[in-house]
Structure formats: structure tokens, C-alpha cells
Structure 1
Amino acid sequence: MSKSDSTFSKSQLDLLKQFKKQISTGQPQPGSTNKKQKSVPVTTPLPQDDDLALFNQAMQGVKTIDNGNLAKIATNHARKKPDAKTLAKRAAAEGPIETEHAELSDTHAMLNPVASQASLSYRIATLQHKVFEDLKAGNIRWYEAVDLHGCTIEEARSAVLEIIQIAKNENQNVIKIVHGKGPEAILKSYVNSWLRQHRDVLAFVSAPEKQGGTGAVLVLLKRAEKNPKFNQDQ
């Protein structure tokens, strides 16, 4: 189509060429309006210092709780061995023990001393052999122990009677008594004698090497319910 045949005026042709140029270049058409797209806010993580600052700001006015009146919880549940002299003082304060204190004679100990390295062994005739062997091997867990080192003979006697009474009150039947094995083995001889006379003792034997060896004895007691002096609640 020639310019002479065109029904468009020159101005219209110029406008048409301008439209074609704009379409080919991607430019906006005249008179058109570009709508701005809404920008989406992008959340950027706060720096660590800003987090700390916000935390400190939030904690303003908060007071530390006073822990002074809180009960302390012991983490170590291991049983502490009672002190022999403390037991002796306790026995003296409580008065005569309701056991065979008067029956525990020292004559046997004086007439039958034992050597410092001797192994002690005693059992009543009716005790089962297996129970005695378990006691000897240290297979029966002992409930409480007392160390008589540094005690006088009277203090040692009171401590032995007291710890037996404590075990009976707790319905426990195995205790350990550390008597030592000095050159003359005086306390060892007396412990050997006292335990043989005590009516609640079923057996005793020198401890295994790892539990004191010949310097200690493991003592098997009657259970409280089998003791005629035990008063059961009705």
C-alpha cells in the first residue's frame, strides 16, 4: 500500500510507526501508566548482638530468686559409717541397753586371745551351710559398719551392742565390725568373745580381703521378727 493510497494522514502514520517502534523495543506506550508492584517486605535475621540486646531489654526489672532457703539435696547416697565413740556416748546417754550387756563376759576373751592375723569363724549349729558360705565370701550385703580403732574396751563394747541394736531396729541382719589387727589384737579378741555370747548373733566370720580381711568381721544377726524381744504392731 502506497502513501497515496493510504487513508491515514501523515500524522496518523507517524503515530503508527511510533507504536510499532515501542512494541519492538518493549518501551511503554504513550499515555499508558505503569502500576507499581507492591513490594514484599523481607525479614532479615537480627544480628546476635541485637538478639542479646532485646533479651536484656526484656529482662529489665527481673530479680534473681534467692536460693538461700532452699533445701540442699545430697547427691551422694552412700551410707556413712557411724563413729564408734559416738555410738558409745549414745549408748551411755540412753542408759543400759536392753540386750545382754550384763551377760557379755570378758573372761572368755582373756582366756582365749586370738592372733592378729587369725581368721575368725563362728556359726550356730542350725545355720544353713550355704548361708554361712555366702557370708564368708562377702556375698551378703552388710547394712552398717563401725570402726573400733582408738576405742577403749568399754567404748568398743558399747559401740558393738549399739550397732547391733540399730540393725535390729531397722530389721537388718548383716553388719560389719572393724576391730583392727594390732600386734596384741586386744579388741579383736574381745569382739570375738562378745559376738559368741550375744543371743542375736547367728554367725560371724573374718571379712574377705577386699572388705577388711582379718581386721574386720561380717556378722549375721537374727531377723527382728524372729527375735522374741521384737514387738510387732498388732
Structure 2
Amino acid sequence: MSISDSSLSKAQQKLLKAFKQQISQPAPKVQVEEVKAETATTVHQEQEDELLFKQALQGVTALADANVAKIEKPRQLKADAKTLAKRAAAEGPVFTEDAELSDTHAMLNPVASQAKLSYRIATLQHKVFEDLKAGNLRWFEAVDLHGCTIEDARLAVQQIIQIAKDENQNVLKIVHGKGPEAILKSHVNSWLRQHRDVLAFVSAPENQGGTGAVLVLLKRTEKNPKYK
């Protein structure tokens, strides 16, 4: 539409001309100079901060590895059977009054070297026993009876059970070995069946000792009225 269009009044023609001039002018530019100045200020501030930090660290040297403290969790020492036996013998009846573990059963019922031991009380839940057999129950402590006399082994078994009870733990491992005559193995099988705090025991999985060790499940301390 032309400005000279006769259908438009002079006032409308002026408005149209002004509008065309307005839209023909480029949009106002962003104040680039201001943005650049602001950016430069930020960079300068960061450079100053970095310089101050470096100045503050002057004279500071890194610690040598030898001066760094090594924090390690203390290792829990495994129970030594002979030490346990000596302790039990020294402390006397406190650890043996609950059961005089007889050897008669062991002599009358010897077990073979490679035999798998298995025992449970009638009221024990089947799932719990299966978890024990599978090695799924984490044992608290282990004692190795290799090199022990029969009497030392008996005292060590009583002592390790007592220690577990004092700590309110209910699973432990006893390594009896599997020599040709399986003497210690037969006695451990017998003693555990007689002990009133034993709920079950079973030969360990292969990766935990196999037929040379037993995993033992005990009554919890709070369930034993003698140890409140």
C-alpha cells in the first residue's frame, strides 16, 4: 500500500510512515562493551585470588610418605588351643561345671577320617540348620586343635564355647583335623553332643575346612538363664 493512497487520511499516512521508519531500523545492540568489561573484571578477580592463594602457600612443603600415619584396623588374633586349655585349667570349674565331657562316647563311636559330621537338636529350625551346613552363618571365632593332647583339646573346646557365650556370639569353628585315626575328630564329635549349649554342628564346607573342621551353633546367651 502506498503512502499516497487516497483512501488514507493525512494523519494515517503520517502514522504509517513513522511505523515503517521504526521497523526498518535495526534492533538495539546488546551492550557488548559492558559485558566485556564485566567478564574482564571477573577474570581479574580470579587471577588475584589465585595469586593470593599461592602467596599463602609459600614455604609450605608436602608431607613425606614416611610421616603419614598409617591407620589400620587391629587384627583379631585367632584363639590358640593350648593357650585356651591353660587358661581353662587355671580358672578351674567356672568353665567346666556345666558339663563333664566324657570320652566314653568317642571310644565307643569313633568316626572315620573323611566322614561328614552332622548333629542337631530336634527343635532346631530346618532352615537354620541348612544355613549352618552351607556356611552361610558367619562364625565368631575359630580354634585349631592340631598338636593338642586329648585333655588340652577338651579344655580348649570348653573355653572357646565360653568365650563365644561371653561375647553373645552363637557360631564358631573348631578345626580338629582328619588324621588317619581321626582321634581328635571323634572326641570333638562326642564332646559337642554332650555340651548343653550346643544346638547343632556340622562338617564345614570345603572352602572352610571340609571334613577337617566343624561349624558349631550355640544357644544365645540371653536364652541361657545361667548367663544373664
Q: How does 1:116-131 map to 2 (within 5 A)?
A: 116-131=113-128
Q: TM-score, normalised by structure 1?
A: 0.67
Q: Does the alignment pair 1:209 with 2:206?
A: yes
For structure 1, list consecutive stretches of 5 or more residues without a partner in the other structure.
1-50, 60-66
Residue of structure 1 equivalent to 2:215:
218
Which structure: greater helix fraction?
2
What is the alpha-carbon root mean square deviation over aligned residues?
A: 2.8
Comparing 124-133 and 77-86, the one that deviates more: 77-86
2:93 is paired with a residue whose SS is coil
Deviation at 1:101, TM superposition (A): 6.0
The runs of 4+ residues in structure 1 deviating greater than 6 Å are: none
Q: Does the alignment pair 1:153 with 2:150?
A: yes
What amino acid does structure 1 have at the position aligned with 2:129?
A: F
Q: TM-score, normalised by structure 2?
A: 0.68
Q: What is the aligned length?
A: 172
Q: State the distance in 2 between where 1:73 and 1:193 align.
A: 47
Q: State the distance in 2 between where 1:220 and 1:199 align.
A: 11
Q: State the distance in 2 between where 1:145 and 1:78 align.
A: 14
- Alpha-carbon distance change, 97 to 91 in structure 1, aligned in 2, over 3 angstroms: same
For structure 2, list consecutive stretches of 5 or more residues without a partner in the other structure.
1-54, 62-66
- Alpha-carbon distance change, 225 to 182 in structure 1, aligned in 2, over 3 angstroms: same
Structure with max Cα Rg: 1
Deviation at 1:119, TM superposition (A): 0.2
Deviation at 1:121, TM superposition (A): 0.1
What amino acid does structure 2 have at the position aligned with 1:207?
A: A
Q: How does 1:92-171 map to 2 (within 5 A)?
A: 92-100=89-97, 103-171=100-168
What amino acid does structure 2 have at the position aligned with 1:83?
A: D
Contact 2:99–2:196 (Cα < 8 Å) also in 1: no
Deviation at 1:95, TM superposition (A): 1.3
Identity, in percent, stands at 81
What amino acid does structure 2 have at the position aligned with 1:162?
A: Q
Contact 1:101–1:161 (Cα < 8 Å) also in 2: no
Deviation at 1:175, TM superposition (A): 0.4
Deviation at 1:80, TM superposition (A): 2.2
